[in-house]
Amino acid sequence: MERTQAQVQVNAFVRSVYNWMAIGLALTGAVAWFVAHNEPVLRFVYQARWIFFIGELALVFMLASRVHKMQASTATGMFMFYAALNGATMAFIFLAY
């Protein structure tokens, strides 16, 4: 069966989206592991947990409202920052399990 140009472009786009999500998930896991195994950083995150939580929510709302107005590099950097911040806030799951 012959693929049309549109199908090829859609498949490439979907593959790209999944690759970026895998990179973000890997960064989240790496940061969570680092924070969970570094006691001074873990204490800092625990003491400032509300700041991390509110910062994460603010970043999500800012990204959602301005993603169409940003350059791709800025959006990518903010997504990576969000993934790292999410990893720091999720580090306590490593300790629970």
Q: How far is the C-alpha of 87 from the C-alpha of 68, rounded, in Å?
A: 25
pLDDT tens for 44-75 read: 999 998 999 999 999 999 999 998 999 999 99
State the virtual CA torsion across 91, 27, 60, 69 in degrees, nearest 10.
170
Are the beta carbons of 85 and 56 closer than 8 angstroms? yes
Q: What is the mean pLDDT of the chain?
A: 92
pLDDT at 2: 66
What is the C-alpha separation between 89 and 45, in angstroms, rounded?
A: 7
Average pLDDT over residues 34-51: 94
Q: What is the pLDDT of residue 1?
A: 55
Contacts of residues 62-68 at CB distance under 8 Å and 24 or more positions apart, as own/partner, are none
Cα–Cα nearest to 64, from 49, 82, 85, 86:
82
> What is the Cα 3 distance to its own chain's centre?
33
pLDDT of residue 52: 92
Q: Per the confidence metrics, is the pTM higher than 0.75? A: yes
- From CA 61, how far away is CA 51, in angstroms rounded? 15
pLDDT of amino acid 93: 85
Q: What is the mean pLDDT of residues 34-46?
A: 95
Query: Average pLDDT of 14-18?
Result: 94
